[in-house]
Chains A and B, each alone.
Chain A
Amino acid sequence: MAVSKIVQLPTANRARETHEPPSIAVARRHHATELVVRNVSKSFNIDRRPLPVLQDISLVAQPGQFITIVGASGCGKSTLLRLIAGLDRDFEGEILFGGRPVSGPSLDRGLVFQDHRLFPWLTIEQNIASAFSSRPIDTATKRLLVKDHIALVGLNGFEKAYPHQVSGGMAQRAAIARALVNEPDILLLDEPLGAVDALTRLYLQEELQRIWLQKGVTMIMVTHDIEEAVFLGDQVIVLQPRPGRISKVIDVGLTQPRDREDSRILKLKKEILGEFHNPAPINYSI
């Protein structure tokens, strides 16, 4: 953990000295940041009986890839992201990031929670800045980074607002900025657009895509919205509930950004929808 922090530092400093856009800074530190989830199972104890929530989940996220996960409510999507983030270490199987087992939270792996979880007593600006409180960066760099990321998520003018003074969608964008400000190698997004209206949602999807293209960060995004999953994902993972397990992996294979009306997108959408209506029999003896 300590090592990764030191590794990150020069990136921020270099960006300041040369005023190069963050995307170039990120591209430069392209090293092994592959995420490997191997045969992960997880159960919770409810009423002293184990309740299996995830069963034999395996996936690989290549650096810079955009993976979307769809699945019914309660099938363990948030749980999976929490395991990858390192917030919960009680599971079976293996989660490797950059070749090393995940043993706790790290600034290399960002997470945007399903609820925005901004601190209500901090302004938008202070909330974003809180993310690098544990890194020894000088104040000027911090200010610059915060400013950049507020602009990135389009919250200019709301720096000094408290979370209750902005809309739900804006709070969610602030949460995304907070997760991005450390320039993580991978960003885990838990239904980041779940709480916004349909119009804002379309707009924010494109924002997310723009940020992803600009930052070159690996993204794993959980969503209920199949169209969103296909529109954004390089790869779509479909989960089946009780216990949560992978029922289908779809490689979208279209370049980004995409056209929503593209017939191939619509076809994939239908295919995934079919997955929900007639779940394919699961072969447990892989």
Chain B
Amino acid sequence: MNKHKARFPHLPDLRGTVPLALIFFVWALKGHEASGPLFQDASIGAVFDTGLDLVKSGALWENYRASLLRVVLGFAIGGSIGTAIGLLLGVSFWMDRLFGPLLTALRQIPIFGLVPLLGLWFGMGESAKLALVALAAFFPMALNTYESVRNLPTAYREVAALYRFKLLYRLRFVLVPYALPGVLTGLKLALSFAWISVIGAELFLSAAPGLGNLLEAGREQFRIDMIVLGILLVGGTGWAMNAAVTALERHLLRWRPAFS
């Protein structure tokens, strides 16, 4: 419960939009000047017109959809494997001893450093892109799940032992709720990394429909308006994904003092 909410219980908190509005304001004022400071000849109007054109031709949706599909698929693969492996290592002492160091070592490699290797294994096409996105989602999910599960306090383990909770009950009503805050943090990071790596994969690997493709085309054709449009879409989508997980968090963690 913050001050704003206490004072204006029915108004949404819009303070976070002020800096953004300022940027747009400056852009609207200065953007029309040829070789203006920010985006050269990309005035708000030009970007809007370009957007409209691309929507009409269907090109925008085609590219956008391709990127969204990649992030959803890649995240589903990498995120679920990551959660499973994090859970396994967190729960099992032996698995932790065997594979913990490997996981720690692998996480040190920057994801885009793996592009050449993935290219060798998967070619430069769609599967390599998906593999990159999956890997990007895998590590934050695996590591956050692992950490949260491993830290289950002895106090709760003892209550579970005292009342002789069965394995499934223990998982569902002790381990999962306890680990959930950490797992959700992992989810946020994983989605964000996956989205970044979708754009990266589209820029680094072979050309195919996608927002990265739109950005690249803008660069080739000296179309700043297209680039700016692409950036706005990438940023907006990332923001929306984060907002969605935050809303989910609010719902799932409503038992926490801070959320009620």
Answer yes or no: do A and B interact. yes
Judge whether A119 and B177 touch: CB under 8 Å: yes
Closest chain A residue to B170, Cβ basis: A133
What are 7 contact pairs spanning A and B, CB under 8 A?
A1-B164, A105-B161, A105-B163, A113-B159, A117-B156, A121-B177, A130-B173
Known: A120-B256, A134-B163, A164-B256. 11 other contacts (CB 8 A): A104-B161, A105-B164, A111-B162, A117-B155, A119-B174, A120-B255, A121-B255, A122-B173, A130-B163, A133-B169, A164-B257
Would you give the 0/1 interface string for B154-179, flagging 1 where the beta carbon is closer than 8 Å to chain A? 01101101111110010001100110
Chain B interfacial residues counted at CB < 8 A: 20
Judge whether B165 and A87 touch: CB under 8 Å: no
A159 interfacial contact with B, CB 8 Å = no
Q: State A133–B156 Cα separation when bound (angstroms).
A: 15
Instruction: Give chain A interface residues in 114-153, CB to chain B under 8 Å.
Output: 115, 117, 119-122, 130-134
Would you give the 0/1 interface string for A83-118, flagging 1 where the beta carbon is closer than 8 Å to chain B? 001010000000000000000111100010101010
Judge whether B169 and A134 touch: CB under 8 Å: yes
A13 interfacial contact with B, CB 8 Å = no
* Chain B neighbourhood of A85, CB < 8 A: 162
Q: State A165–B258 Cα separation when bound (angstroms).
A: 11
B221 interfacial contact with A, CB 8 Å = no
Judge whether B159 and A117 touch: CB under 8 Å: yes
Q: State A122–B162 Cα separation when bound (angstroms).
A: 17
* Given A121-B177, A162-B255, A87 and B163 contact (CB-CB distance below 8 Å): no
Closest chain A residue to B169, Cβ basis: A133
Closest chain B residue to A134, Cβ basis: B164
* Given A119-B173, A120-B255, A133 and B162 contact (CB-CB distance below 8 Å): no
B260 interfacial contact with A, CB 8 Å = yes
Residues of B bordering A, CB below 8 Å: 155-156, 158-159, 161-166, 169, 173-174, 177-178, 180, 255-257, 260
* Chain A neighbourhood of B164, CB < 8 A: 1, 105-107, 134
* Chain B neighbourhood of A104, CB < 8 A: 161
* Chain A neighbourhood of B166, CB < 8 A: 133-134
Closest chain A residue to B158, Cβ basis: A87
Instruction: Give chain A interface residues in 222-244, CB to chain B under 8 Å.
Output: none
Q: State A131–B256 Cα separation when bound (angstroms).
A: 22
Q: State A117–B159 Cα separation when bound (angstroms).
A: 7
Judge whether A162 and B260 touch: CB under 8 Å: yes
Q: State A1–B164 Cα separation when bound (angstroms).
A: 10
Which 10 pairs, one residue from A and one from B, show the smallest C-beta to C-beta distance? Answer: A121-B177, A121-B255, A134-B164, A105-B162, A164-B257, A133-B169, A162-B255, A131-B163, A117-B159, A105-B161
Judge whether B260 and A165 touch: CB under 8 Å: yes
Chain B nearest CB, measured from A119 CB (Å): 7
Closest chain B residue to A85, Cβ basis: B162
Q: State A133–B159 Cα separation when bound (angstroms).
A: 12
